[in-house]
Amino acid sequence: MMKYFFAFCFALTINNGFAQPAVAVTIDATNAQTTISRHIYGHFAEHLGRCVYDGFWVADTLNVPKKDRIRLDIVEALKKIQVPNLRWPGGCFADEYHWRDGIGQRKQRPQMVNTNWGGVSEDNSFGTHEFLELCKLINCEPYIAGNVGSGTVEEMAKWVEYLNSDAKSTMTVLRGENGQQQPWRVKYWGVGNESWGCGGNMTPDYYADLYKRYATYARDYPGSQLYRIASGANSSDYNWTEVLMKKAARHMWGLTLHHYTVPTGNWGKKGSATAFSEAEYFNTMKNCLYMEELVSRHSTIMDQYDPSRRVALVVDEWGVWTDVEPGTNPGFLYQQNSLRDALIAGTTLNIFNNHSERVRMANLAQTINVLQSLILTKGNQLLLTPTYHVFELYKVHQDAKKLPVNFSSPDYLVEGKKLPAVNISASKDSTGNTHITLVNIDATKTITLRINLPATTWTTVQGRILTAPALTDVNTFENPGKVIIQKFSAAKKEGNELVVVLPAKSVVALQVR
């Protein structure tokens, strides 16, 4: 009897004076078959605020390393996290963008008003050639969103021809005259954006028919098969997914889903990026965890029409959307990025990894200076946000085999409401190493996990952690190193088990080999 009593006590950890039972987790490598597509780790750059202009693309006079006007310190930072794809030019902007305005001599390019984002002038100096040069420098795949809302079928067809054909034609000769002889062979092709809203306020039936028309004439050229992506649902609009799958599934490679985490849940007053209570933080995480339900329910609908899961669910806009930083242009969507953002990123990426049978592409909104950014800039200064560091921790999952994770999470309790405190995903890479990413969203409680790894032979574990004293902690231009990755030593082998003491409000990445 005493033996069992001691074993029980051993399985408890002391937490804020209270004993918490350790959480039993199983990560079984027996039948690991699904690949976590690297494209889940994609990003998004719209002509919005300071993402493209004064972000990627800067003034000739700015004193930073540049190729043409592309900022190379940004390129280097993005290469480090292995950005697999970049979505461009929008967003809402895509459905007002006319690609021929963005080619040829820059001085002669027409100007337009960016009606969606602040009504500012767009000089079209960053266009097709500049974007594809940027992707080449980052070493990522371009994902271009074509204009359905205000563009024609012919305009989209000609853009694809300009990009991908190697036969002689007016379009390909023009491409050569503009400096690019060889086709770029762009693969990922969005047919409109948010066609239920800023992309034309359409019904799903109308868009499904239009989608097929535009997608038909966006041709496959020899050696350049397009991966056509249809504009999908807004959050829980399950009917949109149903109609698109019923009417057009066989014409698409992917169908999108957009979902933003709004801290208060109120688009009129979204909440500050840097000043929030624990109750608001709890609400934010609830809205973030809703992605699990969204992905599951949209996938279930897709399963009915596509049981072999050929069509990808592409979550090509996600992230936290707060009020803008005080004093900044409300149309520019500039927001700071705190430890809370990191917990949102870690949690969402764990959800995508765990649904990688269906979710095969995702794009965080947006890369620089807009919404949940990876990078913020001020003049020639640059800082890496807590969110950037999560992508650095998680890059090990790219193209690795998903391992199923089984456990029952303890609750994170605030004002009588509860959420699962812990979320986890795991994978095995091509060299046989196992990677486990864990998030503890609880603001105050450390949680101990005892992880069993059937079908994995291992001897050592190494860990890294992202946390900070406060949920509201941010990196600033004065102090860019407040929320950064540190070594994590509270993961140990005990017998056959991996015991992890997971601190409150942290993202941890473990490598087991």
The reply on whether position 320 binds ligand AHR by CB under 6 A is no
Q: Which is nearer to ligand AHR, 333 or 403 (CB)?
A: 333
Q: Segment contacting ligand AHR (CB under 6 A): 31-39, 88-96, 165-173, 467-475?
A: 88-96
Q: Which is nearer to ligand AHR, 156 or 502 (CB)?
A: 156
Q: How far is CA 512 from the centre of its chain?
A: 25
The reply on whether position 232 binds ligand AHR by CB under 6 A is no
The reply on whether position 193 binds ligand AHR by CB under 6 A is yes
CB of 194 to ligand AHR, least distance (A): 5
Token pair 């801290």: residue? 263
CB of 172 to ligand AHR, least distance (A): 31
DSSP letters along 430-481, please?
A: TTS-EEEEEEE--SS--EEEEEE-TT-----EEEEEE--SSTT-B--SS-TT
The reply on whether position 149 binds ligand AHR by CB under 6 A is no
Binding residues with ligand AHR: total (CB under 6 A): 10
Report the residue closest to ligand AHR, judged by CB: 91
- Alpha helices of 139-267 — where are they, by DSSP H? 153-164, 170-177, 204-217, 238-248
Q: Which is nearer to ligand AHR, 371 or 441 (CB)?
A: 371
**Residue of 91, 102, 142, 190 that binds ligand AHR (CB under 6 A):** 91
- List, in sequence order, every residue forming a beta bridge with 228; answer none if it has no partner: 189
Q: Which is nearer to ligand AHR, 96 or 130 (CB)?
A: 96
The reply on whether position 317 binds ligand AHR by CB under 6 A is yes
Residues between 336 and 365 that touch ligand AHR (CB under 6 A)? 365
The reply on whether position 90 binds ligand AHR by CB under 6 A is yes
Query: How distant, in Å, are the alpha carbons of 197, 397, 434 from that of 430?
Result: 42, 10, 10
- Cα–Cα distance, 372 to 90 (Å, whole number): 15
Provide the CB-side half-sphere exposure for 88 (13 A, CA): 25
User: Do residues 292 and 337 touch, judged by C-beta distance below 8 A?
Assistant: no
What type of residue sits at position 226? L
CB of 85 to ligand AHR, least distance (A): 16
CB of 200 to ligand AHR, least distance (A): 12
Q: Can you tell me whether residue 315 is helix, strand or coil?
A: strand
CB of 470 to ligand AHR, least distance (A): 27
CB of 270 to ligand AHR, least distance (A): 13
The reply on whether position 316 binds ligand AHR by CB under 6 A is no
| Residue 391 host element (H or E) | helix 386-394
- Report the interhelical angle of 278-305 vs 238-248 (nearest 10°): 20
Q: Which is nearer to ligand AHR, 92 or 441 (CB)?
A: 92
**Residue of 45, 52, 58, 92 that binds ligand AHR (CB under 6 A):** 92
**Residue of 54, 96, 161, 194 that binds ligand AHR (CB under 6 A):** 194
CB of 240 to ligand AHR, least distance (A): 14
Residues between 154 and 183 that touch ligand AHR (CB under 6 A)? none
Interface characters, 12-51, with ligand AHR (x: CB under 6 A): ----------------------------------x-----
- Cα–Cα distance, 161 to 128 (Å, whole number): 13
The reply on whether position 96 binds ligand AHR by CB under 6 A is no
User: Do residues 56 and 126 touch, judged by C-beta distance below 8 A?
Assistant: yes
**Residue 135 structure tokens:** 């992707």
Q: Residue 312's closest CA among 357, 351, 254?
A: 254
| Residue 375 host element (H or E) | strand 375-378
Q: Segment contacting ligand AHR (CB under 6 A): 80-88, 89-97, 387-395, 396-404?
A: 89-97
User: Do residues 464 and 509 touch, judged by C-beta distance below 8 A?
Assistant: yes
Q: Name the residues annotated as catalytic.
A: 194, 317
Q: Can you tell me whether residue 193 is helix, strand or coil?
A: coil
Contact positions vs ligand AHR (CB under 6 A): 46, 90-92, 193-194, 317, 365-366, 371
